[in-house]
Amino acid sequence: MNREIDLRSCSISDLEKLSESLGEKKFRGKQIFGWVHKGIDSIEDMNNLPKKFIDELKLVSYVNNMDILEVLTSRVDGTKKYLFALKDGNVIESVLMKYRHGNTVCVSTQVGCKMGCGFCASTIGGIVRNLSAGEIIGQILSIGKNIGERISNVVLMGSGEPLDNYNEVLKFLRLVNNELGLNIGMRNITLSTCGIVPKILDLAKEDIQITLAISLHASNDKLRDKIMPINKVYNINSIINACKEYIKITNRRITFEYSLIKGVNDDIESAKELAGILKGMLCHVNLIPLNEVREKSFKSSENNKVKAFQDTLMKYGIEATIRRELGSDIEAACGQLRKDYIDKGDN
């Protein structure tokens, strides 16, 4: 038989069934789960399992599902960017951010992305495939092991559109939250989406306490159509209605992400228009100075423009924060590192 079961993708009940199918007691499933989520990368390390069982497990399954190809560490703030090779040779990237409140990992959910946002490097080569739940959690386990510290927060803001890979992302959320595993609280997890409306409504019904972040980046459909093609399918109005429904069901505050692009969406009129859209909602706006992507012509707004945009939103009663730029010296833009790696290989 092939070693085809990725243990990092398995729930406790999957592992209990696997143990029983190999003639072992059910409780071995929980033991395996514990080991996998401790971040070990070899079945040999599961030292409280019988030797014979370890050998059988090794025949049908594996733990390590990615290898670190490269780590870039920011000299400015200690942010680390990881490039991983998956078992099939595909390459993905993840980021570790060190905050006073703990370590946050930003994970990718797909290899590439098909959403086509005009300012984003992740989407330049289109989508290759979805990541499995095990490959999403593998990024956190590998980084935790690499730094020897606990990861306390997760953001699904790497390459890919999480709600375009709904089932594996939901499976991942339940794995990472499991108290016998990494035990990362749902409240410490943020999922960012470009606005796949039906999936936002599905997510509302999952009964999980994650923070939903919506990549809005424009205050009217005319502009959003241009910079985010998904807007032609789910326009601003439909997203806002879905968000209102989400808030009604979950009572959770939504974050709206707004990347400020010089001369495109950073004027005071846009800030006023945005305030009008969000008025009265349980939400806040996260303003992100654009990370300039080499292949794209968009430029980042100047600091005074960002500040004026924030002030306008606040004046109209919308809470707004400016995201601190981390890892500015290490290809921080979404998908840039992976793209550079692939381009190097093409030459």
Catalog residues that contact ligand SAH under the rule CB under 6 A: 117, 119-120, 157, 161, 192-194, 215, 257, 259, 288, 290-291, 293, 333-334
- Burial class, 322, CB count within 10 angstroms (exposed 0-12 / middle 13-18 / buried 19+): middle
Least distance to ligand SAH from the beta carbon of 164, Å?
A: 8
Q: Are 301 and 261 in contact (CB under 8 A)?
A: yes
Neighbours of 229 (CB within 10 A): 16
List CB contacts of 107: < 8 A, sequence separation 6 or more.
Answer: 94, 136, 139, 140, 154, 155, 156, 157, 158
Question: How far is the C-alpha of 132 from the C-alpha of 265, rounded, in Å?
Answer: 35
Give the residue from 297, 294, 295, 228 showing the smallest Cα distance to 262: 297
List CB contacts of 315: < 8 A, sequence separation 6 or more.
Answer: none
Given the complex with ligand SAH, which of 48 and 297 has the nearer CB atom? Answer: 297
> Which residue type occupies 172?
F
Chain-centroid distance, C-alpha 91: 16
Least distance to ligand SAH from the beta carbon of 142, Å?
A: 20
Please give the residue whose beta carbon sits closest to ligand SAH in the complex.
215
Least distance to ligand SAH from the beta carbon of 197, Å?
A: 13
Residue positions annotated with a catalytic role = 93, 334
Given the complex with ligand SAH, which of 38 and 296 has the nearer CB atom? Answer: 296
- Burial class, 186, CB count within 10 angstroms (exposed 0-12 / middle 13-18 / buried 19+): middle
Q: Are 293 and 120 in contact (CB under 8 A)?
A: yes
Question: Which residue bears the tokens 């059910």?
Answer: 26
Least distance to ligand SAH from the beta carbon of 326, Å?
A: 12
Given the complex with ligand SAH, which of 28 and 81 has the nearer CB atom? Answer: 81
Given the complex with ligand SAH, which of 43 and 278 has the nearer CB atom? Answer: 278
Q: Are 167 and 109 in contact (CB under 8 A)?
A: no
Structure tokens given for 108: 């990718």
Chain-centroid distance, C-alpha 344: 25
Question: How far is the C-alpha of 209 from the C-alpha of 251, rounded, in Å?
Answer: 9
Least distance to ligand SAH from the beta carbon of 321, Å?
A: 14
Given the complex with ligand SAH, which of 40 and 223 has the nearer CB atom? Answer: 223
Question: How far is the C-alpha of 326 from the C-alpha of 330, rounded, in Å?
Answer: 9
Give the residue from 70, 124, 114 showing the smallest Cα distance to 92: 70
Least distance to ligand SAH from the beta carbon of 228, Å?
A: 8
- Report the DSSP beta bridge partners of residue 130: 110
Least distance to ligand SAH from the beta carbon of 169, Å?
A: 11
Given the complex with ligand SAH, which of 157 and 242 has the nearer CB atom? Answer: 157
Given the complex with ligand SAH, which of 215 and 265 has the nearer CB atom? Answer: 215
